[in-house]
Amino acid sequence: MRGAVIHAPGDVRFETLDDPKILKPTDAIIRTAVTCVCGSDLWPYRGLEPIGAPHPMGHEYVGFVEEVGSEVNSVRPGQFVVGSFATSDNTCANCLGGFQSNCLHREFMGTCQADHIRIPNAQGTLVATDEQPPEELWPGLLAVSDVMGTGWWAADAAEVEPGSTVVVVGDGAVGLCGVIAAKEMGAERIIAMSRHEPRQKLALEYGATDIVTERGEEGVARIKDLTDGIGADSVLECVGTAQAMQQALRSARPGGNVGFVGVPHDVAVDGEELFYSHVGLRGGPAPVRRYLPDLIDRVLSGRIDPGRVFDLTLPLEQVADGYKAMDERRAIKALLTP
């Protein structure tokens, strides 16, 4: 098979790799329908995470089952499936508690920018559609495997409720999907923090009611201006930087909640400030598997269209161009077609 391999910061190559094989009876092999580049892939690409030896990349996927291990009976060859970036058995105590991304047998996907993929824990990870979806819905279903599920988790963790005021920090694919989630959960006011006009436009089309372009303390002050000096009921932190976290915590009202889903980089929370703020804080890797059946239905029914976050489509062999475009903020998210 062929797929993306990162060698060094700024150096992603499309190479021939060993074909995936069933290694455990709980595995499945799928042929990729579409895959993509994630904003979190940019951390190593930019040299902000260690790379070590060259290794494959990618953790978002939908595709067709080609082979299953002897213990997999929830999906069968030929079916179209959606999975999660964090695999899970969906039977352990953590999974049954709704936190499949902390499964006792969890494995994080990392080889999905390729034409074939081995899926560990396939029995509990993959969800098959009743029939093959039309190709125009594949991008939306792909978004469900990570960014839509993560945006939904951000809103869920921040306890978005009908009639509430929500702030979304971050205008990448996850932040934009967070706007969708907040809208679906009944938020009355959704304030998207964004400096980029195309992303602002999409945020408004997804349901944002206000745009704030300021960042840092100026951004917090603007949020306070828009909320009568109080702050938001729920804040979705979808970036992962120290500034974004501080901005999120200080934008929430006393008694409000912050859902943080941006992978933290050099983020430190001041315990005393958090103590006196009365702000709740919850986050972590999204338990996407918990939401898959519902989100798949919402995409298939046309109720939501998270696939619009893909504003660049490239053949998989041009994956390096996808990284470059996202790094230079010429694209929100790059869709890759095998």
Residue 237 has a pLDDT of 98
CB-based contact 4:13 (threshold 8 Å): yes
Q: Provide the pLDDT for residue 214.
A: 97
pLDDT bucket at 158, cuts 50 / 70 / 90: very high
Domains of the chain: 2-146+287-337 (3.90.180.10), 151-283 (3.40.50.720)
pLDDT value, residue 25: 98
If 0-12 CB within 10 Å is exposed, 13-18 middle and 19+ buried, where does residue 254 land?
A: exposed
Q: Write the CB contacts of 26 (distance below 8 Å, at least 6 apart in sequence).
A: 69, 71, 72, 89, 120, 121, 122, 123
Average pLDDT rounded to a whole number, residues 7-28: 98
Rounded-to-integer distance, Cα 243 and Cα 239, Å = 9
What pLDDT shows up at residue 45?
A: 98
For residue 330, the model assigns a pLDDT of 96
Please give the pLDDT value at position 72. Answer: 98
Within the chain, how many helices (H) and strands (E) appear? Answer: 12, 18
Q: 3-state DSSP helix/strand/coil percent for the chain, to nearest 5?
A: 35, 25, 40
Strands laid side by side in the 2-8 sheet? 11-16, 2-8, 55-56
pLDDT digits (tens, 9 = 90+) for 278-336: 999 999 999 999 999 999 999 999 999 999 999 999 999 999 999 999 999 999 999 99
Q: What is the pLDDT of residue 296?
A: 98
Q: Identify the pLDDT of residue 204.
A: 98
Q: Which tokens go with 191? A: 């304030």
Which H/E stretch holds residue 193?
strand 189-193
Q: CB within 8 A of 32, min separation 6: which ones?
A: 61, 62, 63, 112, 114, 115, 116, 117, 316, 338
In tens, the pLDDT along 258-269 reads 999 999 999 999
> In this predicted model, what pLDDT tens digit does every residue of 207-257 receive, in sequence order?
999 999 999 999 999 999 999 999 999 999 999 999 999 999 999 999 999
- The whole-number pLDDT of residue 11 equals 98
pLDDT value of residue 174: 98
Q: What is the mean pLDDT of residues 97-112?
A: 98
Q: pTM higher than 0.85 for the full model? A: yes
**Distance between CA 254 and CA 82 in Å, rounded?**
38
The average pLDDT across 161-184 equals: 98
